[in-house]
Each structure stands twice: as structure tokens, then as C-alpha cells.
Structure 1
Amino acid sequence: MVAVDISPAAALYRRALYPGPPAVIYEDREILADELARTVREFAAGLSAHGLRRGDRIAYLGFNSPAFLVTLFAAAHLGAVFVPVNFRLAADEVRHILNDCGAHTLVVEEGHRELVASVRQDVPARSLVLVDTDPECPATPEPDPAWTPLSALHGAHRPVREPVALYEGDLAALMYTSGTTGRPKGVMLTHGNLWWNAVNVDSVVDTRADDVNLAVAPLFHIGGLNALTLRTLVRGGTVILRRGFDPARCLEDLVRYRVNTFFAVPAMYAALARTPRFAESDLSALRSPIAAGAPVPPQLIRDYDAVGLLLQQAWGLTETAPFATYLPAPLTSRKTGSAGLPMPYTEIRLIDPVTGAEIDSPDTQGEICVRGPNVAVGYWDNPEATRTAFDDRGWFRTGDIAYRDEDGFHYIVDRLKDMIISGGENIYPAEVERVLVEHPDVLDAAVVGVPDPKWGETVLAVLACRPGARPTVEEVREFTGRHLARYKLPTRVEVVERLPRNASGKLDKPELRRQVTARPAVPTP
């Protein structure tokens, strides 16, 4: 078999040879493909002069921006490994990631420089680059001499060698998991993983070379980066890039720019649906609104169907780059709540999480395992975690529980580690949460297990409600009891202003558990 160069930098440079639409529109400023390509080449030359070599790790700490994308492409140009860092992390967490990956170079936006300065003596980074080219970033005071301004690397006019050839097995990125159990692990994603996800997406999603894609989900997250954004840039489309998510501005962008493809987590779609003028907005250009990252409530699907939009649910993880399954738009209503079928070049199987035996029968819950060219090769410098999650036949144990219906469509139940055991019965919080958000007074819901002297654990429902609404535990149990077995019903209810979510929009269950355990317990009815 002939090896094929799949470098995203080379693909960007090919695109830049032809006239076409802007590659990026960032906070309403257009950046043409040839300008983006020229900036990437200059940055790659500057990084090379500062000692960055093939295989070295280059980390980025900041919000969505052209500098983020330029760093990614420049890393690919040199064959370096890109490490996007969650901008919400505390100093100790950033210290861990930079040490774990052995970062050679760190590119930082002003606003995060002080955090990096606080850990600088403890991390291996030999080159510190400060973003001073972005007017949307905070003003940059005079940094100390340890920092190199990004503008100095762009404008030095150094000789630029051609990008290195990159093949399927070459490491592209280390993307750190959220660390809900122990320290975050660096997921090793190859260029093949990223490329094959694009092949999967383009095989089943209505995507086109000249798509307009809106990127508001954080790019440090695999969904924000590789669900649609990267493929749009290298194929010839336009990425509308925002530093973060604002529901009202998001709706305005979808209408103004006639956006065709859009990735967001369900919480973002819910916030978007609550914005004024949502129902009357012209979203007819939006062919492929993809929801993933958390279960999609059926009511949310109905809300979008009412305005003529079919939310397309997908499922996956960082380790699957990101999509492993997808529900085609025409089946959104008939298979409401399903995460869909396996992607064309991805295999899925269910196993008993205890015995490892494969589950063939429909409607039987098991742990999802995934195999395919989009699946990561393991965890960086963590052979024990790699052996636990990846077997020698290439199957990745996801830790997600699902079942498959008679037609072969998959339904995600919950994370295995979030399971509640009450009186010997297994309860999956997501199952209860899907019912809770159907309650007319509930805007958002989360379920966690809390200690109970009689049952071992019991179900606590934490609710964000409409203004003035405070449903009682009796009302919640009466409502959920219409749809769930009695042992699954909440025995405690807490109403909060908002639920904690991480930068990716997912429920932050560890933080939620910390919050509820810090408050005094309410007697069980």
C-alpha cells in the first residue's frame, strides 16, 4: 500500500492556491486562505528558529482565535505535536499537563500569562510565545524578556522549508481528557485519526466543500475542533469563528452568515432555543446541525423540529476523534433519542462490563467498544491506562453504557462510572435526567447518587427551573413515576440557579457532587 501524505498544513496550502471564499471570519474580520497560509508558514519558520522540531510538543492556552488555528497548522508544518489546553483549568492542572506532555513551546494569550508565570519554574517549556496579534485579546503589557511576541515570529521573513510529509500513524495532537477520575490523560490522536473522522463525516452528513461552519464550541475540545471546523478549513469552506458561545450572537451569526454546518452540545442548543426571536429566525441554510457531547433531550429535538430543523445526534469521545455513531437527519423523529448507527469506517460492539462477553441481543445494556481508523492509539506516557482501555485487537472500551434496538440503532444510557447502585439495583443518571427535563418547570437537570443508610445510595435530583418554580420532591416523584420504575425515582430534590458545566458544555458531575456534599442533607421522604 502506498502511504499518502495527509498533512493538514499541506492541504491548507493547496487550498490557498485557488481563489475562493474567506477561510475564517473572526469576530467579523475576513481572513483569506492565502493570508492564513502565509501566516502559518511564517510562524512555522519562526518556531523552527526557536528550536521546535518534529515530534516536539507545542501547547496553546487561550480562547478560540486565529492564533489557535495558526499554531495547529504550524505544528503540522513542522511535524510537531499540538497540545490544546483547556483555558478554564487551574494552575496545578496546567502544570500537570505541561509536565506530562513535556511541552517544548507554549503559546499563550494575554489573560493567561500570569497563570503560566506562576508555574513556569516547574514546567519544561523552553520557548514562551505571547499572542500580541489579536485585538480581541486583552491589552498586552510589556512582558519580561522570557516571552517572545507572536508578531516577532510572524514578521521575521525567515526562509521557510516545505511542510514535512505526515502519514496516518504520525502523532498530530495530545488532547487531555477532563480528568473526572484522577489526573487528565493525554489522548494520542494521529493525523490518521483526524483525517478518517472527516471521511466518516463527509460520508453520511450533508457537508460540502464550500460550507459555512460556525465554530463557537471551544476548540480545545475535540468536538469543537474536529467535528466540522478542521475539515471545513482544508476543504475550501468558511469558518465563522467566535471566541466563545453567546446564545443571542450565535443566533445572529446563523442567520447573517447563512451557516450550513454547526456543532454544539445539547446545553448550547437549549440556550439557543430560549433566545428571543429564535422561532421567527430564518435558519433555512442550516443543513447539518449536529448535537453531541451529552444525551439530547427529546423535548429539545421537538423544539427544533417545530421550527423546521432536524437536530442530528452523534456520539463519541475524544478517543474517537470525535464521532463513532451518527443519526441521519431523516430519522431524527422516528428514532428520537438514538445516537444512531456506527460511522461507515468505524465498528461498534457491546460487551458485558464485568465479564467482557459480547452482547448480541437487542435492548440489552452493555459497555460500548469502538474500533476503527478514527480511534486513538492510546494515552501519552501512560501504558497502564492504555492497556486498560485498548485491547490488542484495537478495541477501545469507552466506559459508556448503551443498548441497541432491533434495527441496530444505538441508545446511550450513561457513563459506567456515574452509575448509582441503590438497594442492589443499577440506576443510570442520564435515564432519570431525560425524564426530568420533560417536566414543564424544569430547564436543566442533573442526577447524582448520595449516601443513604438504608439503600447504600439514593437518587438526588438537582434542578434549574423556570423563574419562580420550585417543584417539591413529591411533585417530582409523581411526574417521574409515570415513566420510571419506583427505585429510580429521586428521593431528594434541590433547586439551583444553574448547574455547573465545564468549558465543553457538559455537566460537571465532580463539581456537582462537591457542591451537594458540602450542603447539609435533607431527610429522605
Structure 2
Amino acid sequence: MAAVDISPAAALYRRAKYPTPTALVYEGQEFSAAQLGRTAVELTAGLAEQGLRRGDRIAYLGFNSVTFFHALFAAAHLGAVFVPVNFRLAADEVRHILTDSGAHTVVVEEGHRELVESVLGDIPARRHILVDTDPACPAATAPAVLWTPLSALLGPGRPEREPVPLHDDDLGALMYTSGTTGRPKGVMLTHGNLWWNAVNVDSMVDTRSDDVNLAAAPLFHIGGLNALTLRTLLRGGTVVLRRGFDPAECLEDLVQHRVTAFFAVPAMYAALARTPGFTEAELGALRSAVVAGAPVPPQLIKDYAERGILLQQAWGLTETAPFATYLPAELTLEKAGSAGAPMPYTEISLSDPVTGARIAEADTRGEICVRGPNVTPGYWNNPEATGAAFDDAGWFHTGDIAHRDKEGFYYIVDRLKDMIISGGENIYPAEVERVLAACPGVLEAAVIGVPDPKWGETVEAVLTCAPGTSLTLEEVREFAGRHLARYKLPTRLLLVDQLPRNASGKLAKGELRRLVEAEPAADTL
């Protein structure tokens, strides 16, 4: 039997043949599927004229935009590999990604042009395209010797090409990890990985063909792109796309567009809950509020439940495209703190971090491992990292520590590499952070291990507090001591205005460590 074509470009063109709602609402503009498809076809012809071929990599550097999708669909049309680049990276990091990926073409928004120009002599890209077609982007002014305006690649007159049929094993995207453990690695995501995630989501989440999805998380992040957004576009719904996340704007969009599906990381949901008008806002249409990307404080779940919104926790990584587990809405409160059970077409197991032995017992901590059609085949041009991540049975070792209850629901404890060892005892920061986040007056909590002459390491808490609140270490320890063993309690406290986070909304532990080193704890035992 012939393999089924699962190209996202082909799916968009199929949608365009039928009467469906507006496909994309972007910064005041509305686009039908036919309009998106027509521009993608024109861009495909222009990129082909520039020499882009099947298997070549095309990088995109800019904020969320309609042009991001034009480039993604044009890449799929040609069978090229799409490389979305984190727009917050420094020049050296962008240089590494563009060089490591071997990008043939780079598409850049004004505002990021000068950064890319600073590394042009070091990267292999042969074509440099500057976005000049989007009124929401800064006006493009660039040296013609270096840049081709995107508008020059659009318009009729070029020969059109048939979309390349794409199947499970065809490489669709390279998405680079945040690099918290070193240089970012290029996660290879096949079209099968992306497609099977959509199947998993549609099998478990209350998604529908006419969904209205708000996309405010960055699209270069797998959660922002493939949790709900891409499947909504291709299945027939409407995506309300924002260039970035602004809590007040987000709240307005949820109400005005009667958003039904929304993915965000916990920090975004927390900021939204603190926005004036949140308590009174009419959010009755929101039925699929998915939260993932970082540990979810139980207090956040309770706060939203009081508003009648059941946050649905999921867990996964870039390498799982993104979801491997999911907790249905009806279990939000009963299983608060759980990341859910395995997705239907994904296998989960726990292994002993030292011996690698499978853990069958309930309530026993181990490294969470994943296997399934949504799991990456490995890292781009990095056989060492691929070999280290996969065992002989094909399990991908995530580096996350979890335990499973007797009913088969998983609870993510922390990252293996973030574990603190104090006096021979293992302390998982996420466990302590969840408790501290519930302390009255605390807005956000982070915990790291710092050197200690007696215990080897000790716990330092870094907190942000509500206006007018100033906690002491004694107060924090008194509250946390009601829920945690004494050896897990912070012995150092630092109050800050804001916790450092990366563009995906995750806590930037490296920056946090540098902050702690530069600013000694104000309160210690």
C-alpha cells in the first residue's frame, strides 16, 4: 500500500478548497486558508528560483507572524527542512544554529537583521531574505548587496511546482534545544513526529474542527507551534496569532474571539491571572486550556478552577513533539499536580537513573523514558548525543525524574541534572518550588543548590513577592516546614523583582545561578 502524504502544505491546500472559517487572525488582519495557501505557493516558486531544494534547511528568525507560516508551508511544499530560531538568542548562539543546521536560506525580520549581518561571514547560508511584506514588522531597510526582499519572491509568473509528498520518516523541522546543558542541539522532528502528536492531541483533548486557538507562546518553541496551533490551522479552525505575549492583550483576545483552545506555560497563566479584569472576564468558551513546559504549581490550578477553568496539564519535550502525557480536564482537581497518563500512541516507562533497570513499582522515582511515533529519531549531526539519549530498546531517556501512582498517572519531580544532594539526601527543586509558590505573598519561586561547607550543598530559595510583601527566611521555613522534611527547607533566601526566564517561559537556571552568585542571599541561617 502506498504511503499516505502527511505534508502540512498539502493539508493546507486541501482545506482551502472548502468553505471554512477564517484561518488566521493576525494583528488586526484576517487570512483565509486560500490566501495563506496562495502566498505559500508563490513563496515556494520564489525560493525554488533561489535554489532551495528538497532536504535543504531554511531558517526563520523573527517574532510570531503570518510570514512564519508562509515560510513553513513553502518549506513543506518543497520538501525542505524548516528551522525556527529563538529570537532572543545572542549572535554567537545564532551563528552556532545557522552553522550547525547548514541552513541554505535564512529569512529574517528587521530588528534581527543586524544580528544576522554580524555573523554572515561565518555561516553557510547562500540566500538571505528580509521580510518586507508584514506591516506588523519594523520597516525593512537593508543593503541590497546582502539581502533579497521577501516581496521580490512573491507574485505570479513563476512556474508552480507540485507539492512534494511527505511521509512519516521525512525530516520536517530542526528545533534547537535551549542549550541549558551546553550548545543547543538540533532536535530532528519528522513529519511523522508532528503528525502523530496531532493524532494524540485530538484523541485526548476536547479539540474540534472549528476551534478558535490563541497562539501567544513563541512559535519557535514546539509547544507554541505544535501543541494546538498547527493542527488548528490544518483541521479547519481559526488561529488568533499574536507576535508575543502581553497579559492584558491576551485576556482581551480570549474574550473578544471566544477562544476555545489555548496553550501556555505556567508563567503565562500566572501573569494572566494577575491581570486586572481577569476575575470578571467572560471566559466560558475556553474548554481546552492546556498548560505545560514547566512544573505547574497546584495553587495555580486551584486559582483557575475557582474561575471555572480547568487547566489541563501535559508533559513532554521538544523531542516528543511535544506531548507524551496528558491529564484530562475531569481529573484536574482529583489529580492536581499530575502530568497525566501516556498519550494513546506513546509509551512511557521509568528507569533507575544508575542501573537503567525498568521500575515497575508504583510511587518509586525514576527517569522517565518515552517511545512512540511522536519521538524524535535523534539529534542533527550529533550521533554521540543521539546514542546517549536512546537505549538499545529504543527508549528515549528524557532526563526528567518522575513517579507513577497506582492508577498509572505520572508526577514529574524534577530534572535529573538539577537535583540537589545535601548531606547525602536527594532534594528535587521542583518539589520545594511547588510548596514555596503556595506561601502567602509569593508570586513565583525558584530553588537551586549552592555550595555548603558542612552539607556539600544547601537549598537557596529565590522568590518574587506581591507588592508590599517582604518575607523573611524564618517565615518561609515555617510555612514550608508544614509540608516538607527539614533537610529540604531553604537555608538561604533572596528576594528579587523578577525571575529570569528564557523565551519559552521556562526558568533559566543558568541565569539564576549567575544572579545568585552576583547577589548574595540577604537572609541566611
Where 2:198 maps in the other structure, the secondary structure is: helix
Provide the secondary structure at the position in 2 that maps to 1:175.
strand
- The equivalent residue for 2:441 is 441
- How far residue 156 of structure 1 moved from its aligned partner, in angstroms, is 5.0
Q: Structure 2: how far apart are the matches of 1:209 and 1:381?
A: 38
Aligned length: 525
The residue aligned with 2:512 is 512
Question: Structure 1's 116 and 10: CA in aligned 2 closer, same or farther, altered over 3 A?
Answer: same
Match of 2:85 in 1: 85
- What CA distance in whole angstroms lies between the structure 2 residues aligned with 1:431 and 1:234? 38
Q: Does 1:182 align with 2:182?
A: yes
Aligned equivalents of 2:210, 2:387: Cα separation in 1 = 41
Q: Secondary structure at the match of 2:417?
A: helix
Please state whether the residue corresponding to 1:88 is helix, strand or coil: coil
* Distance in 2 between residues matched to 1:2 and 1:343, nearest whole Å: 27
Shift of 1:515: 1.0
- Partners of 2:267 and 2:395 lie apart in 1 by 30
Q: Secondary structure at the match of 1:484?
A: coil
Query: For residues 297 and 252 of structure 2, what CA distance do their matches in structure 1 show?
Result: 24
Amino-acid identity (%): 76
TM-score, scaled relative to structure 1? 0.99
Give the 3-state SS of the residue equivalent to 1:338 in structure 2. Answer: coil
In the TM superposition, what is the alpha-carbon distance from 1:139 to its structure 2 partner? 1.4
**Equivalents in 2 of 1:28, 1:375: separation in Å?**
36
Matches within 5 A, 1:380-391: 380-391=380-391
Could you list the per-position Cα deviations for residues 435-490 of structure 1 after superposition, in whole angstroms to 9, with x for gaps in the alignment?
A: 00101110001000111111111000000001121211111111100000000000
How big is each residue's C-alpha offset from its partner over 1:130-167, in whole Å with a ceiling of 9 and x where there is no partner? 00001111111243322111111112531111100000
RMSD value over aligned CA atoms?
0.9
Structure 1: which 5+ residue stretches go unaligned? none
Residue 131 of structure 1 contacts residue 150 of structure 1 at CA under 8 Å; is this kept in 2?
yes
Amino acid at match of 1:55: G
Aligned to 2:59: 59
Q: Which residue number corresponds to residue 115 of structure 1?
A: 115
The amino acid across from 2:169 in the alignment is: G
Q: Any idea what the Cα deviations from partners look like across 1:87-138, whole Å, max 9, x if unmatched?
A: 0000000000000000000000000000000000000000000000011111
Q: Write the mapping of 1:309-320 to structure 2, written as runs, cut at 5 A.
A: 309-320=309-320
- 346 and 185 in structure 1: CA distance in 2 versus 1, 3 angstrom threshold: same
Query: Where in structure 2 are there 5+ consecutive unaligned residues?
Result: none
Aligned-pair CA distance for 1:2: 3.5
Within a 5 Å distance, the mapping from 1:335-374 to structure 2 comes to: 335-374=335-374
Partner of 2:468: 468
Q: Secondary structure at the match of 2:59?
A: strand
Which runs of 4 or more aligned residues in structure 1 lie more than 3 Å from their structure 2 counterparts after TM superposition? Answer: 520-524
- Whether the 8 Å contact between 2:494 and 2:521 is mirrored in structure 1 is no
1:388 positional shift = 0.3
Question: Structure 2: which amino acid aligns with 1:148?
Answer: T
Give the counterpart letter for 1:98 in structure 2: L
Q: Residue 379 of structure 2 aligns to a residue in which SS?
A: coil
Match of 2:478 in 1: 478
What SS does the aligned partner of 1:12 have?
helix
Equivalent residue for 2:232? 232
The residue number in structure 2 matching 1:23 is: 23
C-alpha contact (below 8 Å) 1:461/1:494 kept by paired residues: yes
Q: Name the amino acid aligned to 1:433.
A: E
Q: Shift in Å at residue 520 of structure 1?
A: 3.5
Question: Mapping of 1:252-401 within 5 angstroms?
Answer: 252-401=252-401
Cα shift at 1:523: 7.4
Q: Judging changes above 3 Å, is the alpha-carbon distance between structure 1 residues 523 and 469 closer, same or farther for their aligned structure 2 residues?
A: closer
Contact kept in structure 2, 1:46 and 1:156, CA below 8 Å? no
Q: Secondary structure at the match of 2:180?
A: coil
**SS of match in other structure, 1:398:** strand
Q: Which moved more, 1:386-395 or 1:125-134?
A: 386-395
Is the contact made by 2:493 and 2:521 (CA closer than 8 Å) also made in structure 1? no
Amino acid at match of 2:43: F
Partner of 1:128: 128
- In structure 2, give the amino acid aligned to 1:406: K
TM-score, reference length from structure 2: 0.99
Determine if the alignment matches structure 1 residue 172 to structure 2 residue 182: no
Q: Which amino acid aligns with 1:352?
A: D
* Offset of residue 279 of structure 1: 1.2
- Once residues 190 and 157 of structure 1 are traced to their aligned partners in structure 2, the CA distance between those partners, rounded to angstroms, is 32
SS of 2:136's equivalent in the other structure is: coil
Aligned-partner residue type, residue 214 of structure 1: L
Q: Quick one: structure 1 residues 91 and 126, their matched pair in 2 at CA, closer, same or farther if it must change by over 3 Å?
A: same
Map of 2:145 onto structure 1: 145
Aligned equivalents of 2:188, 2:231: Cα separation in 1? 19
Instruction: Measure how far apart 1:518 and its partner are.
Output: 1.8
